[in-house]
Amino acid sequence: MRKEKIRLDYNNMLSSRVGDKGITPEEFAAFDAELTAAALRMEEKKANMGFRSLPTRAPEVTEDIIATAKAIQADFDTFVVLGIGGSALGPLCVQTALNHLRYNELKEGRKLPRIYVEDNVDPERMLALMDVLDLSKTCFNVISKSGTTSETMSQFMVVADALKKAGLDIGKHVVITTDKVKGNLLKIAREYGNKTFVIPDDIGGRFSELTPVGLLAAAVAGIDVKALLEGAAYMEELCSGTDYKTNMAYMDGALQYIAYKKGANVSVMMPYADSLKYFADWYAQLWAESLGRNNGYGKGINVGQTPVKALGVTDQHSQIQLYVEGPYDKVITVIGVDDYRGDVVIPNSFPEIDDIVFLAGHTLGELTKTEQFATCYALNRAGRMNKTITLPEVNEFTLGQLLQLFLIETAYFGELCGVYPFDQPGVEEGKNATYALFGRKGYEAKRAEMEAAPKADAAYIL
């Protein structure tokens, strides 16, 4: 594994490269005091941001995760994560980034359990999952910090019933990852004797990938979780200074913030690697759920930048048209890799066809990187702000850096907007409305409120 630093290149955010829609030296100067003050406040608050000390603070938990993963590898051929939001997108991101891209389908060469991350309650998906599982060889990991989330608890109830009916031991087939003291999952664990892991008090859903939330599934799939943590710790060290100009997370946050203040309400995340496709999903949740608020700048102002997930090169044939010619309301972050973990030479299969012969002899990796370069070039020519983060290679160490970079950046952007990024009041409202409609005890008033709300007018339904 190459233990190298990831890089941020923000040339294409600047007016010197993209013209007057880019950030000018005068704008940087005008924001300097604000950016510096926020970086200093981050320093004061750092001790209360649990995710910042996480990579180095609990080696004994990492050892427990590794030992548990070994036992799961020995006893089961499939590992299923049941969770949603912050309890699912991190595991999904890490699995897809670091495993073989067809990991579950590998016949030869995959000695370790198949991994599924189930983050929806679509009944067809649950039925399809059950169709491909041999329950006697499946270990489930129920992940819910609150232990009350309707989706995860419903999935668990379905699975528990299926295990019971198959005469299997819920205690042996289910690992529970939850809060240390509160919640129903602990009660269940006590009754059935499940192995449990704790999500630390000071780390919430989307900030919890590097806790047992993400690390257990990763370890079961043979991912080097210590190297993932090492990568995160390295980024933490790189981002320990308070000068935003030399701190990668603060600088990227500063660029996003200045762009936002200049009207870039949309933040596009576009990795040029299939392995990082779900990194963009993880980012979209982190950015949206942490920063979309109605109390910005302490003044009750609505703030937030809408994240958009894109994939290079695939989305060059769909979204790029909008990015190049549509409104100037976006900042585009491209994620590139120096070296793909494998490459394919394009053979000269049709020498008689002039229109495609130029491709022959190049590799698919070269083509991907050339298209990445060409996209940034087209964006520059059209005056669109874009920047590139490059991973020398996608591996545990570089992915750990990338995750920690965006966690820190999110907190910094929140600080700049004057919002608390670690809760999610807007999500809670939807959760409560579901409880009320399903008749959960204690939600009678919410149900009455919902029943009194205006009904859909048939005149507007075609």
Catalytic residues: 289, 317, 431
Distances from the Cα of 138 to the Cα of 121, 134, 135, angstroms:
19, 6, 5
Specify the residue, 114 or 145, whose C-beta has the smaller distance to ligand PA5. 145
Q: How far is the CB of 427 from ligand PA5 (least distance, A)?
A: 6
Specify the residue, 377 or 420, whose C-beta has the smaller distance to ligand PA5. 420
Q: In the 8-state DSSP scheme, what is residue 113?
A: P
By the 10 Å C-beta count (0-12 exposed, 13-18 middle, 19+ buried), 434 is classed as middle
Specify the residue, 84 or 115, whose C-beta has the smaller distance to ligand PA5. 84
Contacts (Cβ under 8 Å, ≥6 apart) of 349:
360
Q: Return d(Cα 125, Cα 215) in angstroms, integer.
A: 24
* Contact (CB, 8 A) for 404 and 307: no
Specify the residue, 350 or 420, whose C-beta has the smaller distance to ligand PA5. 420
Contacts (Cβ under 8 Å, ≥6 apart) of 238:
5, 247, 248, 401
Q: Helix, strand or coil for residue 191?
A: helix
Q: How far is the CB of 200 from ligand PA5 (least distance, A)?
A: 13
Q: How far is the CB of 230 from ligand PA5 (least distance, A)?
A: 25
Sheet holding 174-178, edge to edge: 114-118, 78-82, 138-143, 174-178, 195-198
Q: Which residues are at the interface with ligand PA5 (CB under 6 A)?
A: 84-87, 144-146, 149, 152, 204-206, 289, 424, 427
Specify the residue, 232 or 379, whose C-beta has the smaller distance to ligand PA5. 232
Q: How far is the CB of 205 from ligand PA5 (least distance, A)?
A: 2
* Contact (CB, 8 A) for 287 and 305: yes
Q: In the 8-state DSSP scheme, what is residue 23?
A: B
Tallying the residues shown for the chain, one arrives at 462
Specify the residue, 194 or 247, whose C-beta has the smaller distance to ligand PA5. 194
Q: How far is the CB of 23 from ligand PA5 (least distance, A)?
A: 31
Q: How far is the CB of 158 from ligand PA5 (least distance, A)?
A: 16
Q: Return d(Cα 114, Cα 102) in angstroms, integer.
A: 10
Tokens 């940034």 belong to: 376
Tokens 């409880």 belong to: 435
